[in-house]
Amino acid sequence: MTDSPASSLLITNIGELMTQDPARGADGVLRDAAVVLEGERIAWLGTAAEAPAADAVHDAGGRAVLPGWVDSHTHLVFAGDRTAEFEARMAGQSYQAGGIAVTVKATRAADDYELTRLLLARAAEAAAGGTTYLETKTGYGLDVEQEARSARIASTVADQVTFLGAHLVPAGVDADAYTDLVCGDMLSAVRAYVQWADVFCERGAFTEEQSRRVLTACRDAGLGLRVHGNQLGEGPGVALAVEFGAASVDHVNYLSDTDVELLAGTWAGWDAGAGTGRRGTVATCLPACDLSTRQPLAPGRRLLDAGVEIALASNCNPGTSYTSSMNYCVTTAVLQMGLSVHEAVRAATYGGALALGVHTGTDADGERAVGSIAVGHRADLHLLNAPSATHLAYRPGMPLTAAVWRAGKQVA
């Protein structure tokens, strides 16, 4: 059931309120708790016994409430699927980036109505699983007109949009000439619709020199930066991300000791306990993709131990991770990456908000912070059909999302 936000809503009888608010200490958990929503914001939280009156009441029934998932890495503007590629990979073929071209062909063939319909359906599916804040990328157009179209359509649905014209060099096109196109006419065509730029710095995609050109042009155009890096092997992606002050480097499956040290160095001025100081480069781990491509999982435990802030994201795309389930990503992080439940939930909420720059305060458009439950933040909440978040890993694969509020409105 969905409804419009009441002027105030009290969610009470919460067994475990996992706030992910650094100001509340190491775990940020309140028990026997309640939260009051007013319009789109969180107005109050504390013990249920001390809760103020509100216009409407929702009884959580002793179950757990988390921040809504912040999915900071998706590729949702596409048509078609790549089941044949998936079946080949399951039969033993190794993953290569070239399958992107299959999706480019299908996406170009779809009209605006169809692309928008598909995007809305995927966003609704994500919301039904607890995702309340969504980034998505272009990258399946790969010419000026198609990338601009993808960016425009994405901007009508996603909270933030990333320009990924530098996803793959189209077949038959000179790589340096295409890089020039990305840095020139393509960037100009998408600029009004996007907040970020990304580059796939990997063998078979863009070289270090080409990636540097893309990052420089996009930085000069005023975009925030992200990097797809170190997915298929050790490479220059992490070092480039750090050099350019990128908000995140994503995939990070293969990291040298130097890579980890570089990332850790970006967080030297950050107070993780207080959530204050200079934000560094987030390492975004994409475990659903790692399992689908049969790659080693990103070393989340190693990164955390080194002092690097990490995010978990779905990487929902038709080739390597056709899932929007952040529950699945959290489960995998606990069962196979060595993260505690608290660490995994934090990475999928506060970590994603860090990667997107919406973890605190307001952005330039006046948008409220997401990724944690605190007074003044956007009212994005995820009620589990379980007494604690531990059940996400303890009962893997079960439908544990009971209700979802996005900006104060119940959407699932």
Residue in this structure with the two tokens 């699927």, named with its chain if needed: 81
Residue percentage of the chain with pLDDT more than 70:
96
Of the pLDDT bands very low, low, confident and very high (cuts 50, 70, 90), residue 293 is very high
User: 192-249, pLDDT tens digit by residue?
Assistant: 999 999 999 999 899 999 999 999 999 999 999 999 999 999 999 999 999 999 999 9
With 0.75 as the threshold, say if the pTM is over it: yes
Distance CA 221, CA 190 (A): 11
pLDDT > 90? residue 156: yes
- Is residue 136 a known part of a binding site? no
Residue 98 has what pLDDT? 65
Across 244-380, the runs of DSSP E, i.e. the strands, are 248-251, 270-271, 276-277, 282-285, 310-312
Of the pLDDT bands very low, low, confident and very high (cuts 50, 70, 90), residue 93 is confident
User: 174-195, pLDDT tens digit by residue?
Assistant: 999 999 999 999 999 999 999 9
pLDDT > 80? residue 132: yes
- Is residue 82 a known part of a binding site? yes
Q: Are strands 9-18 and 56-59 parallel, antiparallel or unpaired?
A: parallel
- Is residue 231 a known part of a binding site? yes
Provide the 8-state DSSP code for 337.
S
User: 258-267, pLDDT tens digit by residue?
Assistant: 999 999 999 9
- Is residue 75 a known part of a binding site? yes
Say how many CA atoms lie within 13 Å of 49 toward its Cβ: 3
Q: CA dihedral in degrees (262, 266, 271, 275; nearest 10)?
A: -120
Mean pLDDT across 296-309: 98
Handedness of CA 372, 374, 377, 382 (dihedral sign): positive
Beta carbons within 10 angstroms of residue 183's beta carbon = 22
Q: Are strands 270-271 and 276-277 parallel, antiparallel or unpaired?
A: antiparallel
- List C-alpha distances in Å: 97 to 53, 89, 100: 55, 12, 6
Distance CA 167, CA 160 (A): 18
Residue 1 has what pLDDT? 43
- Is residue 47 a known part of a binding site? no
Residue 206 has what pLDDT? 98
CA 226 remoteness from chain centre? 12
CA 181 remoteness from chain centre? 27
Residue 26 has what pLDDT? 76
Residue 275 has what pLDDT? 76
Residue 359 has what pLDDT? 92
Mean pLDDT across 19-26: 88
Distance CA 173, CA 171 (A): 6
Tokens of 121: 């359906």
Q: Which residues pair with 30 in a beta bridge?
A: 17
Q: Note the maximum CA span of the chain.
A: 67
Residue in this structure with the two tokens 């969610």, named with its chain if needed: 11
Distance CA 333, CA 230 (A): 19
Of the pLDDT bands very low, low, confident and very high (cuts 50, 70, 90), residue 311 is very high
Mean pLDDT across 305-311: 98
CA 293 remoteness from chain centre? 19
Residue 399 has what pLDDT? 96
Give which of 386, 384, 381 is closest to 371, Cα–Cα: 381
Residue 362 has what pLDDT? 54
Residue 277 has what pLDDT? 84
Q: Which residues pair with 401 in a beta bridge?
A: 384
- Is residue 73 a known part of a binding site? yes
Say how many CA atoms lie within 13 Å of 224 toward its Cβ: 18
Give which of 348, 266, 268 is closest to 300, Cα–Cα: 348
- Is residue 315 a known part of a binding site? yes
Tokens of 291: 């399992």
Residue 337 has what pLDDT? 98
Beta carbons within 10 angstroms of residue 354's beta carbon = 28
Contact 97, 166 (CB under 8 A): no
What's the chain's average pLDDT? 95
Of the pLDDT bands very low, low, confident and very high (cuts 50, 70, 90), residue 363 is very low
Of the pLDDT bands very low, low, confident and very high (cuts 50, 70, 90), residue 379 is very high
Provide the 8-state DSSP code for 216.
H
- Is residue 141 a known part of a binding site? no
Q: Which domains does the chain have, with CATH numbers?
A: 9-67+371-410 (2.30.40.10), 69-356 (3.20.20.140)
Contacts of 271 (CB under 8 A, 6+ apart): 277
Of the pLDDT bands very low, low, confident and very high (cuts 50, 70, 90), residue 158 is very high
pLDDT > 80? residue 68: yes
Of the pLDDT bands very low, low, confident and very high (cuts 50, 70, 90), residue 364 is very low
